[in-house]
Amino acid sequence: MKETTEELIISYDRMKEQIEKELISVYDREGAVDLASPQISFEKGTTRISFGAQPITAGMLVDFLAVIKRYIAHVRVHSFDSGYYAFQAMNKNLFKTENMLDNFKVEFFVLSASSKVEISKKGNLTQEEINLVIELFQQARASARQDPAYRLKLLGASIVEPDKDLDWDYIAGYDEVKRKIRESIILPIRNPGVYDSIARMTRKVYEPNRPRAILFDGAPGVGKTTAARIIAGEADIPLVYVPIESIMSKWYGQSSQNLSQIFDASEDMGGSIIFLDEIDSLAGSRDQNMFEATRQILSVLLRRLDGIDTAASTITIGATNRKDDLDHALISRFDQTIYFPLPNATERAAIFSNYAKHLAEAESFNLGEKSEGLSGRTIKDICEFTERRWARKVLIKSLEPTAPPFEFYKQTLRMWNETK
């Protein structure tokens, strides 16, 4: 009986229908999956089916092979170069190699950010082979679900890649803020053992004493998000960036458990820094008319920050520019607030020199004096605006390109102050 099902050749249309049906059910369950969508074709007498997958690791390859071996007794390794692996079914008679290249074949193309699985065979597939394709697809999905980075992406969060051009020098001034970040975030993350051993010496009942949650508070444009990106490069653990505002709209109508899953995925990476940007979207006191979804997300967050559901290796940073409007229960969960003030005159001068390095010290100083109340972002905008104005002038007057003169910066700043 088994022999006959194995040999049962299925028409192309019936095969396509079966495979598509199986894939659609996965998409329905998991929502949009941002890997290359499956392709099914029949060209020059060959059936070809391909789909996108996670970058294939050695472990995943073993899992795929286990699936293949369950269906095909004798498989030949066709290629085992790094980045390209191919496995081919052998003929029933193992000693006969004729037309073997027409047999069922599975190829894995591994790229840096994704990979592709391609199945091909001359002629139509048998029912067993169709089942194998479906199982390979399911295996690829199962591996993806285990990959924390991929899970985070599906949830609207992302892992910030360290940027080697971005370090603390990029932020002019703010020595006090930088010191606090170094002491309360970077040091504990880099030396967890020291903190733990002290806690073991002091506590009757051991509890980790590392800071778990820190709030970045400050006006718009003072470098809170930029600081998070710099921390990503300095810490030896991944920084998970969670833009609360945008994920809330993305999850509209969905369960607040998504936030919980972000925490879970972050912990599956063996510790991480979770940066919750713009938590102002959770503002509003709880007794006011808060949206149900917001209320639920807030309650998940409160629980996670309490640390009951959270591994000790995770540090959460929240950023806000409306601390006073935040829920009091939420504020109380943060061990420490790092306040990012607006830059003082010296710092404003330094920010001007960061974005207009050709100016003389006295010139930056002058601009710094005249820009009271402006944030780093506004100063950067003023410098960019000045460059564009100057570029237009250079073009119109057919001048050799030079850096904008001091006068131009002064003018832009004056215009800015007047329209304020």
Ligand X SMILES: Nc1ncnc2c1ncn2[C@@H]1O[C@H](COP(=O)(O)OP(=O)(O)OP(=O)(O)O)[C@@H](O)[C@H]1O
Tell me: does residue 321 bind Mg ion (CB under 5 A). no
Cross-strand pairs, 119 = 49, 106
Which 8-state DSSP code applies to residue 184?
Answer: I
* Shortest Å distance, C-beta 219 to Mg ion: 11
- The DSSP H or E segment spanning 339 is strand 336-340
Tell me: does residue 317 bind ligand X (CB under 6 A). no
Reduced DSSP (H G I as helix, E B as strand, rest coil) percent helix, strand, coil of the chain, to 5: 50, 20, 30
Of 62-70, 121-129, 172-180, 216-224, the window that binds Mg ion (rule: CB under 5 A) is 216-224
Return the residue of 106, 171, 213, 301 that touches ligand X, per CB under 6 A: 171
Select the residue whose beta carbon is closest to ligand X and give its number: 376
Tell me: does residue 225 bind Mg ion (CB under 5 A). yes
* Shortest Å distance, C-beta 156 to ligand X: 17
Number of residues that bind ligand X (CB under 6 A): 19
- 23 or 279: CB nearest Mg ion: 279
* Shortest Å distance, C-beta 201 to ligand X: 38
Rounded to an integer, what distance in angstroms lies between the CA atom of residue 197 and that of residue 208?
A: 9
User: Which residues contact residue 229 at a Cβ distance below 8 angstroms, ignoring those fewer than 6 apart?
Assistant: 160, 163, 166, 239
Sheet holding 336-340, edge to edge: 158-160, 239-243, 272-277, 314-320, 213-218, 336-340
* Shortest Å distance, C-beta 347 to ligand X: 6
- 271 or 343: CB nearest ligand X: 343
Return the residue of 48, 76, 380, 389 that touches ligand X, per CB under 6 A: 380
226 to 86, 249, 384: CA distances (angstroms): 44, 23, 18
CB 131 within 8 A of CB 71: yes
Q: What is the chain's length?
A: 420
Return the residue of 153, 377, 389, 410 that touches ligand X, per CB under 6 A: 377
- 227 or 305: CB nearest ligand X: 227
Rounded to an integer, what distance in angstroms lies between the CA atom of residue 65 and that of residue 108?
A: 11
User: Among Mg ion, ligand X, none, what binds residue 354 when CB lies within 5 to 8 Å by partner kind?
Assistant: ligand X
Per CB under 5 A, residues contacting Mg ion are 224-225
Per CB under 6 A, residues contacting ligand X are 171-174, 218, 220-226, 321, 343, 351, 354, 376-377, 380
